[in-house]
Amino acid sequence: MGKIVAVTGNEACAYALKQINPDVCAAYPITPATDLMQRFSGYVSNGQVDTELVLVESEHSAMSACIGAAAAGGRVATATSSQGLALMWEMLYIAAGTRLPIVMPLVNRALSAPLNIHGDHSDGMGARDTGWIQIYSENAQEAYDNLIQSFRIAEHLEIRTPAMVCMDGFIVSHSIERVEYIDDADVKKFVGKFQAVHPLLDLEHPKSYGPLILTDLYHEYKRAQHEVMTKVSGVVLEVAAEFEKMTGRKYGLFESYRLEDAEIAIVVMSSAAGTTKDIIDQYRDKGVKVGLLKPRMFRPFPFTQIAEALKHVKAIAVLDRADSFGGYGPLFSEIAGAVMSMDTKPAMINKIFGLGGRDYLPDQAEQVIDELIKIAETGKVGAIKEYIGVRE
Amino acid sequence: MSKKFWETLPQGSVVLEAGSSAKFKTGTWRSMRPKWIEENCIQCMFCWIYCPDMSIKVTAEGKRAEFDYDYCKGCGICALECPGKKGNKAIVMEEEGK
């Protein structure tokens, strides 16, 4: 068994990286992920890992260095947040399109302007279509567990696609929680030895990375990239099953909380799910059949499985901690897309909450559930998209 | 079951052989074709230096030879840089297909 510690989300992720001991790590500090890489660089300078730490002058360079190191044939990791992720934008596509299994904790933070360092999902949602696998974590334990599992997922020989493991900036990255660490030897055994595919440093077999592919083949390469994503769900579940055997902690593509017999449901990701579960318990005690669905894997989005899990509910509220200005929230669009395939279509509302680290309060969850109860009774939806917790 | 065409592509578009650029014939892009006028050529090799591709062939003796039209995109840099002999250019651009 592992040991139980009191650590922050950043500390737990840095410790996971220490246990995994990647070959190369190129990073540039950005709040609130600075602390994660700072702790990891401490492990490097103390000789506790033999990772080659590359100090670069920007996040764009950090991802570029990671791509080079991954193409060379190394196990590679980095971490970032917010504007840092935005600065990596063009390199994210190259990492995914070149099928390099880089793993990156993303400490979710708002995007400027106005400048804000606190937690929301704008950065992760901006990278939605880059071809990276995205896994969201509710708390420090999940961030730690997801990070370890993500190496296995990204590096799976049928997948070979980069993965980002997300947790809420400050709310999780800087709060101290109870976390159960896995033994070093077990982590080492679980992630296994890295197997390079087409490494550049294999001098016996020269090769080129990053060719120009014009109208003749680009379409086919993108079709192939989509196909890889269809295989991710299976691998995520396979890895989770093995992880459960090792730790007793169960993970899926999403978490269902009191959803089986629910008439109304809230869909929300990351740390806000914890608060929502508490309020759901209170309403359950009052006899209200309310449940929660917490997506864990956002990319690829498990739309058929989610539709199956939600098919019996009458009304759904999707809570987005990011906005798409002039459109519905990104999570709402996904859930609406999933619901499309269902015979019975539930009523749906979209709430934008917690932008720029604004607290998500228990009474906001109550407000949403009260609205859902009314919608389920009357079948009438007022405004589909609304902001909650906003000064009016 | 036979694989679909897109399933046969190398992972991550990695090119698994060395020197494959020689197979990528770029001459089909051309709309203007350079013509070599040997009697005006002073063998200065400026065209060879300036050619952005590999379109100027050089003999074993180090002499400039005919163009390799498989790679010539018709950019015209060679014709521009050619000093010629007594004001007569050794390379002139002509419309392709004429």
Q: Quick one: angle between helices A184-191 and A218-247, nearest 10?
A: 150
Name which of B7, B9, B11 to mutate to probe chain A: the one with the most chain A Cβ atoms within 10 A of its Cβ.
B11
Cross-chain Cβ contact B14/A198 below 8 Å = yes
Distance CA A202, CA A52 (A): 19
Cross-chain Cβ contact A224/B15 below 8 Å = no
Task: Check if the beta carbon of residue A134 is closer than 8 Å to that of residue A124.
Answer: yes
Cross-chain Cβ contact B6/A209 below 8 Å = no
**Encoded tokens for A43:** 């492990």
Cross-chain Cβ contact A97/B11 below 8 Å = no
Considering only CB atoms, B13 lies closest to which of A197, A206, A213, namely A213
SS percent in chain B: helix, strand, coil, step 5 = 30, 20, 50
- Contacting B with CB below 8 Å, chain A residues are 97-100, 160, 197-198, 205-211, 213, 217, 220-221, 223-224, 227
Tell me the nearest-neighbour CA distance from A224 into chain B, angstroms.
6
Q: What is the value of ipTM here, to two decimals?
A: 0.86
What's the pLDDT band for A188 if we cut at 50, 70, 90? very high
**Encoded tokens for A152:** 């296995």
pTM (two decimals)? 0.92
Q: What is the pLDDT of residue A89?
A: 98
Distance CA A287, CA A271 (A): 25
Q: What confidence tens digit (pLDDT) does each residue in A36-89 have?
A: 999 999 999 999 999 999 999 999 999 999 999 999 999 999 999 999 999 999
Q: What is the pLDDT of residue A79?
A: 98
Tell me the nearest-neighbour CA distance from A219 into chain B, angstroms.
9
Which position has the higher pLDDT, A254 or A341? A254
What average pLDDT score do residues A191-203 get? 96
Q: What confidence tens digit (pLDDT) does each residue in A87-141 have?
A: 999 999 999 999 999 999 999 999 999 999 999 999 999 999 999 999 999 999 9
Considering only CB atoms, A208 lies closest to which of B5, B9, B15, namely B15
A92-114: b (≥16 Cβ within 10 Å) or e: bebbbbbbbbbbbbbbbbbbeee
Q: What is the DSSP letter of B11?
A: G
Distance CA A128, CA A125 (A): 5
Considering only CB atoms, B7 lies closest to which of A206, A207, A224, namely A224
Percent of chain A with pLDDT over 90: 98
Residues of B in contact with A203 (CB under 8 A): none
**pLDDT tops 90 at residue B21:** no
Alpha carbon distances (Å) from A19 to A61, A67, A147, A185 = 25, 22, 11, 8
What average pLDDT score do residues A377-386 get? 96
Tell me how many residue pairs between chain A and chain B have CB atoms under 8 A apart.
47
What average pLDDT score do residues B42-70 get? 95
Cross-chain Cβ contact B13/A97 below 8 Å = yes
Considering only CB atoms, B16 lies closest to which of A207, A217, A221, namely A207
Smallest CA-to-CA distance from A154 within A145, A164, A166 is with: A164
What average pLDDT score do residues A292-308 get? 97
**pLDDT tops 80 at residue A1:** no
Q: What is the pLDDT of residue A376?
A: 96
| Mean pLDDT for chain A overall | 97
Q: Quick one: angle between helices A89-97 and A218-247, nearest 10?
A: 90
C-beta contacts of A114-117 below 8 A and 24+ residues apart = A116/A356, A116/A357, A117/A31, A117/A32, A117/A82, A117/A169, A117/A170, A117/A357
Tell me the nearest-neighbour CA distance from B53 into chain A, angstroms.
16
Residues of A in contact with B18 (CB under 8 A): 206-207
Q: What confidence tens digit (pLDDT) does each residue in A247-261 have?
A: 999 999 999 999 999
